[in-house]
Amino acid sequence: MHQDSVLHNLSLTMVLAPLLGAIVAGFFGKVIGKTWTHRVTILLLMVSFACAIYIAKLLILDGMPSYNGVIYTWADVGKYQFNVGFLIDRLTAVMGITVTFVSLLVHIYSIGYMAEDDGYQRFFSYISLFTFMMLMLITANNLLQLYFGWEGVGLVSYLLIGFWFHRETANFGSLKAFIANRVGDMGFLLGIAAIMTYFGTIDYSTIFADAGNFTQTTITVLPGVHWNLITVVCLLLFIGAMGKSAQMPLHVWLPESMEGPTPISALIHAATMVTAGVFMVARMSPLFELSQVALTTVLIIGAVGALFTGILGVIQSDIKRVVAYSTLSQLGYMMVGLGASAFSAGIFHLMTHASFKALLFLSAGSVIIGMHHDQDMRNMGNIRKYMPITYVAFLVGALSLSAIPPFAGFYSKDAIIDAVHLSTIPGAHFAYICVVLGAFVTALYSFRAFFMTFHTKERMSEGLRKNLKESPWVVWVPLVILVVPSIILGAMIAGPMLYDPHSILGNSVYTAPQYDVLKIMAGHWHGAWSAVAESIYTPAFWMSIAGVAVAWLSYIVFPRLPNFVTRRFSWVYYILDRKYGFDDFNQIIFARGTVGLGKALFKYADLKLIDDYMVNGSGRGIEWFSRTLRKTQSGYLYDYAFAMILGLLVFLLWLLLG
C-alpha cells in the first residue's frame, strides 16, 4: 500500500504541475510579467520532470510493481462506470521522461525564441497546457481518460499552430490539422464504442484480461459481411492513430503545422502529439497481437509512409518543412516496428527520435533566428562560419536521423529494419524493401538540408550577413543538452530496451510468442560496439552512406546537378511538388466539395424547399383556399338554398350507396 501511495502522489504531481503552470501563465501572466511567467512554468515543469525520473527509477531500477488506481469516479451511467485513474507502469515511465524532458528544453528555448513576441505569456500557458494533456494521455488507465488527453492535445495543437493568428497561412494550417485529426478521431471514438458495447468496460486491465474470449466473435460490418470483432476494434483504433501520428493518407496536416512557432514544431513533432498514436498502439498491444490483419495494416501503412513521405522532403526548400517530412517518415518507421510486433523497438525509436528530432527542429529555429525568420534554405549557405554551435548540433541531429553508427538513431532504426526482415506477418517483405530504401532517402534529405544551410556559397543579403551570429545562450544551451542523448542514448539502452529478458518495458507491452522477432534478434546481440562493427554488413548502412554521398556530390561537388535532374525529370518533380495529389484531392473533393454541397443545400433545400415551398408555400396555400372559400359567401339566399339542397342530395346518395 505504501508503494502505491508513493506512485499515486508522484504521478499526481507529475501530471498537475504543468496544469498549474498553464493556469498561472494564462490567467496571471500579464500581472506577473514575462520573466516570472517563464520562471513559474519552467520551475513547475522541472518538478514534473523530476517526478518522471523518480517514477522510472522506482519501476525500472528498483523493480517496484506497476500502479493501477482510480483517482475518483466521474460518472455512473447504467452498467458503465467512468473513472479518472492512473496506470503507472514501465511504458508510462519511459513516455513520462521523454515528454517532460523535451517539453522542459522547449520551455527554456522559448525564452530566447519568443522574447520579442507580444503573446509571450499566452505561449507559455499553451505549451504547459499541452504538456499536461499529453501526460494525462500517457498515464490513463482507461479509454475515457485516454480520449480526454487525446482530444486535449488536438485542441491545444490547434491553438499553438495558429498562435500567430494574424497570418492567413497559420489559420489555414491550424484548421487543417484540427479537421484531419477529427477524421481520425471519429474512427478512434467508434473503436472505443465497440469496446464498450462488447466488453462492457473501458478499463484497460479488464479489456486485456477478457480479450482472449472474443477472438472468435464476429460482427456484421455490412449486410452479409462479417468481420472478427478484435480486428474491427483494432482497425478503428488505428484510424485514430493514423490521424494523430500523421500516417498516410491522414498525414496532410503535419507539414502545414510548420506555420506555428519553431518551439511548437519541436514539441508537437518530436516527443508529444505525433507520438500519441504510436503510444496508443503499443498500449493496446494485447489487442493488436490477436489480429494479424490489424498488424499487417499497421505494417503496410507505416512502411508506405516511411518511404514516400520521406521522398517529399528531398524537394523542400523550407528548412522546417524538410524536418517536418522527416518526422512523417520516422513515424512510419515507428509504426512499422509496431506492426512487426517489435513494440519495444517502436518505442525505442520514439525515444531516440524525440532527442534528435527536437535537436534538429531547435537547431533549425536557431538558424531562423539568425536569418531574421527567413526559412528558405536557398537564401542561406556557409552559416557554419557564423553559428558554429548550431552547426555542430544540426550535424549531430542529421547523423542520428540518418542512422549513422554509433549515433542514437542507428540502434533504434536498425532494430526496426532487422525486426521487419525477420517478421512472418503478411506484408513484411514489402515493408522491408520500403524501410531499406527509406534509409537512403532519409540520409539524402537530411544532408541536403545540412549542406545547403551550413556549406555551399553564401546567398543571404549583405545586410543580413553583417548581423549574422550565434543565437543567445538560452537557445543554444538546449541544443547542447540534446546533443548528448542524440549521441549516446542508443548505445546506452539498446540492450536493456530490446534484448534483455527483463527489458526496460517489461510486461507493459505484450508480444505473442509466434511474432516475437526481438527474441530471435537477442541471440545475435553482442553489445553496442559489436553492433557498430557488424553494421557494415547490412544493406541499410550502405543505403545511408549512399544518401550522404549523393547529397555531398549534388550540393558540394556538382552544385548544378540538382537543377539538371529537376529539368530532366520535370514530371517526377511535378508529382512530388503536388505531394502525390493528396492536398489537391482534399481541397477539390472535401474542401470545395463540402462547400459546394453546402451552397447547393442552402439554395435548393433551404431557400427553395423549406422557405419557398414549405413555409411560404403553406401561406400561399391557405391564402388560395381562403380566396376560393370567400367566393361561396355571395350573400344571396338562393345560393345558400342551392348549397343546402346539393348537400342533402350528397348525404342521401351516401346513405343509399352505403
For residue range 558-587, list pLDDT tens digits in order.
Answer: 888 888 888 888 888 888 877 777 777 777
Contact 262, 324 (CB under 8 A): no
Q: Higher pLDDT residue, 433 or 616? A: 433
Residue percentage of the chain with pLDDT more than 70: 97
What is the C-alpha separation between 402 and 404, in angstroms, rounded?
6
Report whether pLDDT(241) > 60. yes
The closest alpha carbon to 399, from 304, 490, 534, 496, belongs to: 490
Alpha carbon distance 454, 380 (integer Å): 8
- Mean pLDDT across the stretch 524-540? 86
If one compares 257 and 87, the residue with the highest pLDDT of the two is: 87
Percent of the chain with pLDDT over 90: 20
Minimum mean pLDDT among 119-123, 476-480, 620-624: which range? Answer: 620-624
Residue 451 neighbours by CB under 8 Å, 6+ apart: 551, 552, 555, 556
CA distances from 263 to 83, 165, 386 (A): 34, 16, 22
pLDDT confidence band for 270 (50 / 70 / 90): low
User: In the prediction, which pLDDT does 526 show?
Assistant: 83
The reported pLDDT for the residue numbered 435 is 92
State pTM to two decimals.
Answer: 0.86
d(CA 626, CA 616): 15
Question: Residue 226's CB: how many other CB atoms inside 10 A?
Answer: 10
Q: Which residue's entry shows cell 456484421?
A: 220
Lowest mean pLDDT among 421-435, 458-472, 477-491: 458-472
Cα–Cα separations (whole angstroms), residue 89 to 92, 341, 516: 5, 20, 21
List the single range of 29-43, 299-313, 544-558, 593-607 with lowest mean pLDDT.
593-607
* DSSP track, 307-344: HHHHHHHTT--BHHHHHHHHHHHHHHHHHHHHHTT-HH
For residue 551, pLDDT over 70 is answered with yes
Task: Give the pLDDT of residue 431.
Answer: 92
Distance CA 95, CA 351 (A): 8
For residue 617, how many C-alpha atoms fall within 13 Å in the half-sphere facing its CB?
A: 8
**pLDDT tens string 67-79:** 888 888 887 777 7
Contact by Cβ (8 Å): 298, 288: yes
Residues of 78-106 as b/e, b for ≥16 C-beta within 10 angstroms? eeebebbbbbbbbbbbbbbbbbbbbbbbb
Residue 450: the pLDDT is 92
* Mean pLDDT value across residues 189-212: 88
Q: Can you give the residue ranges of every domain in the chain?
A: 291-576, 582-657
Tens digit of each residue's pLDDT (9 = 90 or more) over 418-431: 999 998 899 889 99
**Axis-axis angle for helices 319-339, 408-422 (nearest 10):** 40
Question: Beta-strand (E) ranges in 135-255?
Answer: 218-222, 225-228
Contact 191, 236 (CB under 8 A): yes
DSSP string of 214-245, one letter each residue: GTT-EEEEETTEEEEHHHHHHHHHHHHHHHHT
Contact at 8 Å (CB) between 258 and 246? no
Cell 517530412: give the residue: 325
Question: When comparing pLDDT for 460 and 192, which is higher?
Answer: 192
The region of weakest confidence among 101-115, 282-296, 392-406, 461-475 is 461-475
Read off the pLDDT of residues 93-146 as tens digits, 9 standing for 90 and up.
999 998 898 888 888 888 887 777 778 888 888 889 989 999 999 998 888 889
Q: For residue 406, which of 492, 334, 499, 306 has the smallest C-alpha distance?
A: 492
pLDDT at 440 over 80: yes
pLDDT at 429: 92
Residue 2 pLDDT more than 70? no
For residue 536 the three cell numbers come to 557494415
Q: Is the pLDDT of residue 271 over 80?
A: no
Strand partners, 70: 85
Find, among 532, 322, 310, the residue nearest to 406 by Cα.
532
Instruction: Check pLDDT > 70 for residue 299.
Output: yes
State the pLDDT at residue 132: 92
pLDDT of residue 366: 87
What would the mean pLDDT of 140-162 be, rounded to a whole number? 87
Chain position carrying cell 482510480: 70
Q: Which residues of 515-544 are buried (b: 16+ CB within 10 A; e: fewer)?
A: bbbbeebeeebeebeebbeebeebebbbbb
Of residues 257 and 469, the one with the higher pLDDT is 469
Q: Which three cell numbers stand for residue 247?
A: 500516417
**Contact in structure between 483 and 363 (CB atoms under 8 Å):** no
Rounded Cα distance, 433 and 421, in Å: 9
Q: Pick the more confident residue, 654 or 143.
A: 143
What integer pLDDT is reported at residue 54 of this predicted model? 92
How many of the other CB atoms lie within 10 Å of CB of 196? 16
Determine the average pLDDT of the residues in 388-414.
Answer: 91
Cell 342530395, residue?
649
